[in-house]
Structure 1
């Protein structure tokens, strides 16, 4: 009976982890499209950051007020990596690049590189040893990303900004993933601390460089409030925290490989970017790679 109860609990935990990861990548794809759209408005990266982190900082205020801005049980270096990796630094780097990069290419250079960066950190720093199934999955992800990247290079003029800042953003997010896993914080606590610190940093940036947030029409503010603040800043952060807690850092990050696929199709629908046979092929290959690298197929085969 005890073994059955443990198996049931583990199954529920994995289910919650998979659900959290899938919710996260859907929101990320929406965020890429909404941020790309904002390049045609008066909203700058600082304005978007105020919205992105101001909403969750306010909603989750009871949590960060309870833990304190610097929790005693969390090493300061882990907290700093979390804030940089999923907060202000990550957001400024990626948003700056997204404004001049097509959505399909953003998905490849940011979301596609996340699982590779997370695995690399896990292997080099924490002694993780991916099994053959996960290695095959990562190889499939690389193939899918390569197809999308070649297509993006063929269809768009992508500057060095995209190739530098988006992979750097992926590396920052991967570092956050591993730091959060080892922080001992819950998804709510981690999300609250990242939000409040990132909001304070953006307030400082706004005081120094100014803000145009009050000059933007309310409908545009409302769109970014929903996509940046409610979905990306609050829902995705909490969902990803649950995924990391349930699946582990490298496996949770592997789901981000679905982001290029969703961003490519979303870009086609909302931004009139072309999607053809090769994009669909890349979607299938990348999806298979995610299934292998996260261990979903392994669990089913063992079951």
Structure 2
């Protein structure tokens, strides 16, 4: 009896850790959108923020990438390039440039929703995956949420057209990274370390070519980005999401990302003073529900 009780308690603890990791991840992702949106009002450019975003994880995870090497054996170059572009430098530059001109509420919907949609479409087209009815409903809800934003934008010219191009493009990159990572044979920590160091090197080159304003930026702004971009998004979110996937499984952990558009919408209104109407709230809720369903959490299998 005592042995069974210990096993159940162990399982309960693991589940609790998983839920905590998922919640922490979603909160960090929402905060990342808000912090990136806020940086548009400062003198920090996308290259400056990129140096912070990838420099800290590259330094912290140096023992990992020094051990694997910058070009780890057994990992095709094409997969490594896809991972670095999809979750690293190219993805970051697209999203940051777009978020600088896009309200946080819309950015959360366009990026968070498009990620799930793009991942599913690549799976269907490239790897013959067959989504069930509930996942199809989820993808349809994501499209509906984005359509609400598009109609509102066309009616009130509230969103720049680049938002509907750059953020979905970034989502496709992230989806490509997801499929590439699953076939790379790397662990989550190894992949994170390689993406961080390669992206940091790319941003160093960009800084040399185009310049950087980090040295003249206020310490308070640098500190905010170090916290939100480097420590939280770059390190803490990676570990927290790994715990969630390990304890809950990928499907259930991914379902928590449905909260991100809602939190980004609320945060944009409360912290950044953005105007939030019924359309934004409806789009956030519908997209969040769509992301949850598209993960398969409500499916029979």
The TM-score with structure 1 as length reference comes to 0.85
Change in Cα spacing, 1:113 to 1:290, as seen in structure 2 (3 Å) is closer
The alignment of Structure 1 onto Structure 2 pairs a total of residues equal to 296
Name the stretch that deviates more: 94-103 or 287-296.
287-296
What displacement does 1:19 show? Answer: 5.7
Maintained 8 Å contact 1:93/1:165: yes
Maintained 8 Å contact 2:37/2:99: yes
1:225-264 paired onto structure 2 within 5 Å: 225-240=226-241, 256-264=257-265
Residue 166 (structure 1) aligns with: 167
Residue 217 (structure 2) aligns with: 216
Residue 290 (structure 2) aligns with: 289
The TM-score with structure 2 as length reference comes to 0.86
**Aligned equivalents of 1:177 and 1:44: distance in 2?**
27
What displacement does 1:148 show? Answer: 4.0
Residue 144 (structure 2) aligns with: 143
1:1-303 paired onto structure 2 within 5 Å: 20-151=21-152, 154=155, 157-240=158-241, 256-298=257-299
What displacement does 1:291 show? Answer: 3.2
SS state at 2:298 partner: helix
SS state at 1:268 partner: helix
**Aligned equivalents of 1:237 and 1:102: distance in 2?**
25
What displacement does 1:249 show? Answer: 7.7
**Aligned equivalents of 2:139 and 2:13: distance in 1?**
25
Structure 2 residue runs of 5 or longer lacking an equivalent are none
**Aligned equivalents of 1:26 and 1:228: distance in 2?**
13
What displacement does 1:297 show? Answer: 2.9
**Aligned equivalents of 2:211 and 2:76: distance in 1?**
33
**Aligned equivalents of 1:115 and 1:37: distance in 2?**
25
CA-based RMSD: 3.1
What displacement does 1:150 show? Answer: 3.5
Maintained 8 Å contact 1:181/1:249: no
**Aligned equivalents of 1:286 and 1:157: distance in 2?**
19
What displacement does 1:90 show? Answer: 0.7
Maintained 8 Å contact 2:51/2:203: yes
Name the stretch that deviates more: 251-260 or 94-103.
251-260
Q: Deviations for 1:11-51, whole angstroms, at most 9, x for unmatched residues?
A: 99988776655443322221111111111111111100000
**Aligned equivalents of 1:246 and 1:121: distance in 2?**
26
**Aligned equivalents of 1:80 and 1:9: distance in 2?**
40
Structure 1 residue runs of 5 or longer lacking an equivalent are none
Q: Deviations for 1:145-197, whole angstroms, at most 9, x for unmatched residues?
A: 33344445555532232222111111111111111111121111111110011
Q: Deviations for 1:243-300, whole angstroms, at most 9, x for unmatched residues?
A: 6778888886665454322211111011111234444444443343233222323369
